[in-house]
Chains A and B, each alone.
Chain A
Amino acid sequence: MQTESPPLAAATATQVARIVVAGHVDHGKSTLIGRLMYDLGLLHQSKIDDVVAASSRRGVAPEWSYVLDSLQEERDQAVTIDTTRIWFTHRQRRYTIIDAPGHRQFLANMLSGASEADAAILVVDAAAGIGEQTLRHAYLLAFLGIRHVIVALNKIDLLDDARVRYGELSAQLRDALRRTPPVAVIPVSASRGDNVAARAATTPWYDGPTIVDALEAVRRVAPPVQRPLRIAVQDVYRRDGARIVAGTVAGGTVASGDPLVLLPADVPVVAHRLVRWPDGDVAGAAAGETIGVVLDGERFAGRGDVLAPPLDRPQVAQRLVLEMFWVDVRGPLQNERLRLKRGTQDVPVVVDGTPSAYDIEEARTLGAAGDAQHNIVTLQVRATSPVVFDRRADDPHGARCVLLRGSRVAAIGFTIDAADASGDGGGPVTLVERERRSGRRAAIVWLTGLSGAGKSTLARAAERELFERGIAVSVVDGDLLRSTLNTDLAFSDEDRAESVRRAAAVAGILAETGHVVIVSLISPFVSDRARARDAARHPFYEVYVNAPLATCEARDPKGLYRRAREGAIRSFTGIDSPYEPPASPDLELRTDTLSVPEAAAELVAFVDGVTAPSR
């Protein structure tokens, strides 16, 4: 049903190139960039004056690294602490130059800068030779998938016989960088400007490109338009009655009318409409673009879900093998609990078995992950719910993931494969397994309305009927919560909001165990109910139990209206606190005209319909 070709603008643009400059500390990365800026005439005179003045205050010759190293501490210690960026346009092309720190302790910062680069310049001090971080940076560039590496053999002005040294070092480097052979090895003096923008008279034996020539040859890495479609759902917005499933197209293309599958739940859907604001409907979207998808019918997508083509779908599994660059000081421990972020999924995982570390510098496997930090760790994890991912061998982009320890990033890397193809069996019981056994979809049915409208009565009547039909059902009742969980809350707007939040949380926990949960709570404010719906990780239905105030007050089953009128109760909904009815409830029950059995039957029929397994 691919109707029209989607717009490819984001994919075909080639005017931008992002270059990371990496290498061992003190090998001259920042100086090279500063020099490049100077030679291309990109520095304002005030910046040049600033560099000269700041250099002379510290008693050194003009130090071009000051152009980038802007922090006081960096200038005083002559070291780059975090990545910094420089932008310029040269020959109709936009460049972003990212200066990555060379100290081992700042490797995480180097990764942050390098992760989005199209190409890298690896700076090596020709006098000092290959440094510890030279190899580590080269390995990481390959790990991140950066294939275009330019080597700048810097400080040739300090050598007696530059030609011989260049020959030796370029042979060593080409051997060390076998994983990603460099496109060029350029003899450079950043402080003197040799072979940066202009060909140097001091290297007549070199006939390769200058740094600027090499930059001009860099090609932008385009978003993976040719890959199968992947949209990780970021959020769902309700606008004008439609539920807009928002996300970025991570790979491939999508057109309105395309049949898709919603994962991990494995629900067939159709991309009924594709929408943007203020444009409205659009025909298609391609990798790298954000989009909103309106799915056909009542389909409940949520953050963490993935939209993919039915036949070219990603893997779904609970046990996974990961290959990670370990950032944190402490390596992973067997049975340790971590968090896996993959796409917009954020899932608790347990480390299974013994992780194994590979030492980048020594190029050997260490076995048990004692010295994991700044090395590559292979480990197996067991997730508490199914994870949607691509194998790195199939699609490195869809395999990118992060492991958190608490709230801190512990490692970054890739999903390699499912460890256990069956997915189920062993490990925590998942919602999918529960739903498969109960034959029903879990859901939250939220009854809102005035006190005395009949919410609790209907909730209990529906619960009985659903129970008799063998459906796992629970009621979360506002009065019961008031006397148990919410004894600390009164009836201010803030306390009401909190009570709605707690009721939603309790309902969510029950729904996670596969139950159909009926919530009975006045919940007078539209905004509180909207938050409850947004927070629900399950299908959520709003039911307006509607009876006029006069009817409710006449019923007054608990004598509360009388006491409110007498002033014994303050902030009573309907009397001296407002009730905001739902604008478009999923179901409305008029309890002033329907009998209890009639209204309960309607509610049961509704619940039965929305939790049916075929949906």
Chain B
Amino acid sequence: MTNETADLDQLEHAAIAIIREAYATLRPLAMLWSMGKDSTALLWLVRKALYGEVPFPLVQLDTELELDEVYAFRDRLAREWALDLRVELCPPEAEMDPTLPPATRAAARKTEGLKNYLQRENAQGIIVGIRRDEQATRAKERIFSPRSVGGTWDVRAQPPELWGYYATDVPHGAHVRVHPLLHWTELDVWRYTQRETIPYVDLYLARGGMRYRSLGERNITVPIRSDAASLDEIIAELAATREPERAGRVMDNESEDSFERLRAAGYM
């Protein structure tokens, strides 16, 4: 028996096992949902792992600057999948570190929104749909990534992680980020979305020679040139491209270490 998506099966089983570990060991647990392709595929995996239920809150870090289609998608899925959606309004940009470059400062709002949520709800675990291939500093992440009380990330002091044994003990006030999609690639997410017929925002599909490859806020994300108007075409496009996924994300490209500074401070 040949199976053209056997590699997706491996990724799926690994992600399900991670989600079940998180649910069994970290309470209260929550998940970040940006309505993008990654966290929506992850949401589907949560339902697979936990037999159709999403028994914890889904947190949207809202800057009120998402595209209209994204909000509409959020509301539709929240209704259809009976989600416990929590919209966390992020503090204004004026309150961010003024030494950060402008678009990085805009992105830092989400870090602060997340901190506010974690502090208020005392969440021990938060599931996040980041992938190692998105951005070089994310490649250094652990699947279970303990964060200190301030939510900061110390890349030098990460615990060893092997054989499915994860860091699940959390000091009071600190939390663990859980990354079930860490080993997935952008192409995997689209192939999986297609195979499982997972819903997605249609801004990813090309209209008039342009499409969004990555969905961020209106003020810091731009569409790319593309004629890929279906999932098949997106998959074909990604299999051929060498253009980085986050090329349309302004903040990643402002200075050599802008993303690293964001992440050290607790960004996703």
Contacts and interface: CB of A to CB of B under 8 A. Distances in A.
A248 B155 contact: no
B260 interface: yes
Nearest to A13: B6
Interface in A96-127: 96, 108-109, 111-112, 115-116
Interface residues of A, number: 61
A13 B162 contact: no
A108 B257 CA distance: 25
Given A115-B162, A408-B159, A409-B160, A87 B137 contact: no
B72 interface: no
A246 interface: yes
B7 A15 contact: yes
Contacts of A303: 24
Interface in B171-221: 171, 183, 185
A584 interface: no
B257 A72 contact: yes
A276 B48 contact: yes
Contacts of B77: none
Interface string A56-100: 000000000000101110000000011111110000001010000
B23 interface: yes
Interface in A244-265: 244, 246-248
Contacts of B16: 290
A78 B257 CA distance: 16
A222 to B, nearest CB: 11
Contacts, number: 138
Nearest to A292: B51
Contacts of A408: 159
Given A235-B20, A239-B52, A278-B52, A44 B242 contact: yes
A12 interface: yes
A201 B2 CA distance: 41
B17 A234 contact: yes
A112 B167 CA distance: 13
A234 B24 contact: yes
B65 interface: no
B162 A277 contact: no
Contacts of B139: 70, 84-86
A43 interface: yes
B20 to A, nearest CB: 5
Nearest to B244: A44
A301 to B, nearest CB: 13
Contacts of B171: 407
Nearest to B137: A70
B158 A111 contact: no
A587 interface: no
Contacts of A400: 163
Interface string B4-17: 00110110010011
Contact of B260 (A15, A16, A72, A288): A72
A462 interface: no
A471 interface: no
B10 A13 contact: yes
Interface in B107-128: none
Given A9-B9, A70-B137, A234-B21, A112 B162 contact: yes
Given A87-B133, A290-B20, A12 B6 contact: yes
Interface string B55-99: 000000000000000000000000000000000000000000000
Interface of A: 7-10, 12-13, 15-16, 42-47, 54, 68, 70-72, 81-87, 94, 96, 108-109, 111-112, 115-116, 234-235, 237, 239, 244, 246-248, 275-278, 288-290, 292, 303, 327, 341, 344, 400, 402, 406-409, 412
22 contacts: A7-B1, A10-B9, A12-B3, A12-B6, A16-B7, A70-B137, A82-B155, A83-B140, A84-B140, A94-B7, A111-B160, A115-B163, A234-B17, A234-B21, A235-B23, A246-B20, A276-B48, A277-B50, A277-B51, A290-B49, A402-B165, A407-B169
